[in-house]
Chain A
Amino acid sequence: MDILIAAALAVLQPHMLIIILLGVTAGLFVGALPGLTATMALALMLPFTFTLDALEGLVALGAVYMGTIYGGAFTAILLNTPGTPSSIATTFDGHPMAKQGRALEAISVATIASVVGGVVGVTFLLIAAPPLAQLALKFGPAEMFWVAILGLTLIGSLATGSLLKGLLGGAIGLLIGTIGISPIGGESRFTFGWPPLQAGVSLIVALIGLFVIPELLQMIRRGQASLEPSDTIGNTGFQFMSALRTVLSKPVNLVRSCAIGQVIAVIPGAGGSITSLVAYNEARRWSKTPETFGKGNPEGIVASESSNNVMVAGSMVPLLTLGIPGAPPDAIILGVMLLHGLRPGLDLFTQTGVLANGFIISMGLAALMLAPIGLLGGRLIYRVIIRTPHYFLVPTILIVTILGTYALRNNVIDVAIMLGLGVVGFLIRGLGLHAAPIVLGLILGTIAEQGYVQSVLGGMALDIPQLRLVANPLSQVLIALIVLVIVWAAWPKRFSRKKQG
């Protein structure tokens, strides 16, 4: 307890609060720009943190991280384009709300959900890091394979129209994911002898291409922005109180989404990209009115934004206790810790407890600061986007998108792939194929492949190496879950069909 108080005092210094304020603000804008990711923001800050002491440096990184993940919600709501992979699910209901003239309400809901998620994640990190870390270690290659398969079952429900088209999208995603150097084995695949393709198709590149470009092409085709000033009639305030009521009126959804975010965050390698999709899917599955999802139901935003902000602190659990980065930005935080001579492990919490706990508490403060900064910044971004005519908006977003894509890996090929996927994405959207299943296939294909090959390799001494995949109790639990999800997804549809018939 003494350590916690000392840590809180160390963080509640004026200059620390300023660092957090600046970090969250900077992160918010970076997150709102498609192509600029949390990983990139943290990498750019690295040299800057060397001039600070260890605690200040970590506090700055944590604040930017928190701000970035939240900032992705703005473009998701206003432009139907997720600023970061973790806000894909925010587009599903956020943008329909904006189209109904409820953009500021959607932003308020996203903000409150993010604050709750951030604080919940930090609380769990403070009180339950060691047991959560033990849970993280249970996920070996075989378990990761089944987690990926479980994630792929989401496609069944993400495909709002036809299941077949959803599965087709997922398959396209899996196929795109195989381009480049294979994660295990190191062979070149589908590079057609062309060296630049060794880099494969990065998730962010595909995300920007498949979400942003079709939206821009849509704006050009319709000759107007996706939101018009006329959409905003009657939308004068943040509707903060009503948003707060919306978030708190469905406590089960909030608790469930935070729990999902927490569990997925500690599984190393699953990453933040799927937490919000899983939470969204569950919110819809358990809702009494699942048909309202995807048409502007604030519960969808609550699920997505609370779970992805839990993930920020949640992924610090394996990082701080075991030295395992749970998501890509964590690798940079680990690098900074090591440079300051801080080794992850339980000693971090005892010998350097003020520092470790101070860092965690600062993330909680950063989460709280999302509210004022987000509501003010949100209003600013909203006004800019609403008042800019589409003939300025489209080229501006396009340029930012191209720059962001290039900056990702300093690779022109990535820009070409992004634009190419964008045009393809626009065309297949007309056929009813959506971007979400494709991106999901891209994310999970690599995880599934690695898990499968690693566990089968590990079973080389067995007569049938594949048995290794089902040997552990946790694998069996996951398999049972997968069967349950598929059965559940198949059943209600039949019921409703019978009712209609």
Chain B
Amino acid sequence: MSEIFSTRRTALAGVMAACIVAVPAMAQDFPSRAIEYIIPFNPGGESDVTARLQEPLMEEALGISVNVRHQPGGGGAVAWADFQANAEPDGHEIIGINIPHIVAQPIQRADAGYTTEGFDIITWFHMTPHVVVVREDSPFQTLDDMIEFARENPQSLTVGGSGTFSGNHLEALRLQELTDVQITYIPFTGTGPLPAAILGGHVGAVISNSTLGVEMGDNVRVLAVASEERLETLPDAPTFRELGLDIVGGTYRGVAVPNGTAPEIIEVLADLFTEMNQTLGERQVPMGFQMTDIRGEDAIDLMVRLREQYGDFLN
């Protein structure tokens, strides 16, 4: 897989070099009509709400209309497969993409219908780092307490999260591997049911996104955050690295176009998303998001790195 990425990286560099020479003709015509912005999930989730915030800003900046369209199903796979098969590579059709979904699904499923390399990534515009959360009255005061319990009682500690071989699940597996304990991961369908699972005591802990930790406030205690530095919104929660565990990860959200889209168009769009992040950040940072701008080579590096980190669990 990483080989494919490196080949692609070389190819990308080649294309980029060629473009410096060639005068970009298409970019000047962009955008020439309405932009379709496809969200491969149900309305109401993080991807949807973000797109709804971006929609008016994009319309204002580009002077055309932007249509947000939902195409949920198969954890995103249905829309991604349809997009790679049918979308025009002219920048007027863009689609929301997520890590680890687009890395994990094609390895996991024979019939995912799309490939990780089949997208040209515009930018990963934000991420929500993973957090370990327990109920406010839980006996686990620290992550160490929790790990100790799991060591003494193999399989007794239940940890809920969203989905199987999802970001939450992979992080649970990694925590297990690094600490050499046996925990029982219980998948739920999406993040929606997790607050009930934790408040009702149906699971011992939850691995989820930072936004959930912020949203649930004083009802829960965040034992660890999988970010490089502590989050402003969760100042009391230590990072995994502070606790001696090398876990940095989360759900990244971004946008992509089909392979073969002119690099200038991708750049126009990437600049726009970066600019919009300024406005969106005012609303989303307090909710627990981390705004990012990972594009070009960096975007591919990120996928290669996570792919290596999680790869063993997926095969």
Give chain A's interface residues, CB within 8 Å of chain B.
39-40, 42-43, 46-47, 50, 136-141, 180-181, 183-186, 188, 191, 193-196, 198-200, 268-269, 318, 322-325, 328, 331-332, 334-335, 338-339, 341, 343-345, 347, 409-411, 450, 454, 457-458, 460-461
**In the complex the two chains form, is B202's CB within 8 Å of A141's CB?**
yes
Stretch from B120-128, B150-158, B256-264 that touches the partner: B150-158
**In the complex the two chains form, is B164's CB within 8 Å of A185's CB?**
yes
**In the complex the two chains form, is B77's CB within 8 Å of A198's CB?**
yes
Give the interface size class of chain B: 35 or more
**In the complex the two chains form, is B71's CB within 8 Å of A42's CB?**
no
**In the complex the two chains form, is A199's CB within 8 Å of B72's CB?**
yes
Let me know if B16 is at the binding interface, CB within 8 A.
no
Let me know if B140 is at the binding interface, CB within 8 A.
no
Contact A198-B44, Cβ < 8 Å, known A140-B200, A186-B164: no
Interface string of B222-251 (1 = CB under 8 A from A): 000000000000000000000000000000
What are the residues of chain A within 8 A of B163 when measuring CB–CB?
186
- Complex: chain A residue closest to B158, CB-CB: A458
What are the residues of chain B within 8 A of A191 when measuring CB–CB?
111
Q: A322 to B199, alpha carbons, bound, how many Å?
A: 8
A413 to chain B, nearest CB (A): 8
**In the complex the two chains form, is B45's CB within 8 Å of A331's CB?**
yes
Q: Jot down 11 A-B pairs with beta carbons below 8 A, ordered by A.
A: A47-B55, A136-B196, A137-B200, A141-B186, A181-B74, A195-B74, A200-B73, A335-B44, A344-B215, A411-B71, A461-B153
Let me know if B78 is at the binding interface, CB within 8 A.
yes
- Complex: chain A residue closest to B73, CB-CB: A199
**In the complex the two chains form, is B195's CB within 8 Å of A324's CB?**
yes
Which one of B114, B156, B200 has the greatest number of beta carbons of chain A within 10 Å? B200
**In the complex the two chains form, is B44's CB within 8 Å of A50's CB?**
no
What are the residues of chain A within 8 A of B196 when measuring CB–CB?
136-137, 139, 268, 318, 322, 324
What are the residues of chain B within 8 A of A460 when measuring CB–CB?
155, 184
What are the residues of chain A within 8 A of B73 when measuring CB–CB?
180, 198-200, 409, 411
Q: A40 to B70, alpha carbons, bound, how many Å?
A: 10
What are the residues of chain B within 8 A of A180 when measuring CB–CB?
73-74
Q: A98 to B188, alpha carbons, bound, how many Å?
A: 43
B307 to chain A, nearest CB (A): 18
What are the residues of chain B within 8 A of A181 when measuring CB–CB?
74-75, 77
Give which listed residue, B45, B200, B283, contacts A139 with CB less than 8 A.
B200
Which one of A50, A194, A324 has the greatest number of beta carbons of chain B within 10 Å? A324
What 3 A-B pairs are tightest by C-beta distance, nearest first? Answer: A199-B73, A195-B113, A198-B74
- Complex: chain A residue closest to B286, CB-CB: A341
What are the residues of chain A within 8 A of B42 when measuring CB–CB?
39, 328, 331
A292 to chain B, nearest CB (A): 40
Q: A40 to B44, alpha carbons, bound, how many Å?
A: 10
Interface residues of B in 157-205 (CB under 8 A from A): 158, 163-166, 184-189, 192-193, 195-197, 199-203
What are the residues of chain B within 8 A of A195 when measuring CB–CB?
74, 77-78, 81, 111-114
- Complex: chain B residue closest to A46, CB-CB: B52
A453 to chain B, nearest CB (A): 8
A41 to chain B, nearest CB (A): 10
- Complex: chain B residue closest to A136, CB-CB: B196
What are the residues of chain A within 8 A of B283 when measuring CB–CB?
339
**In the complex the two chains form, is A323's CB within 8 Å of B52's CB?**
no
Q: A194 to B109, alpha carbons, bound, how many Å?
A: 11
**In the complex the two chains form, is A50's CB within 8 Å of B53's CB?**
yes
**In the complex the two chains form, is A324's CB within 8 Å of B113's CB?**
no
Interface residues of B in 131-165 (CB under 8 A from A): 153-156, 158, 163-165
Give which listed residue, B48, B111, B186, contacts A188 with CB less than 8 A.
B111
- Complex: chain A residue closest to B43, CB-CB: A43
A351 to chain B, nearest CB (A): 12
Which one of B38, B114, B195, B203 has the greatest number of beta carbons of chain A within 10 Å? B195
Let me know if B69 is at the binding interface, CB within 8 A.
yes
What are the residues of chain B within 8 A of A410 when measuring CB–CB?
38, 69-71
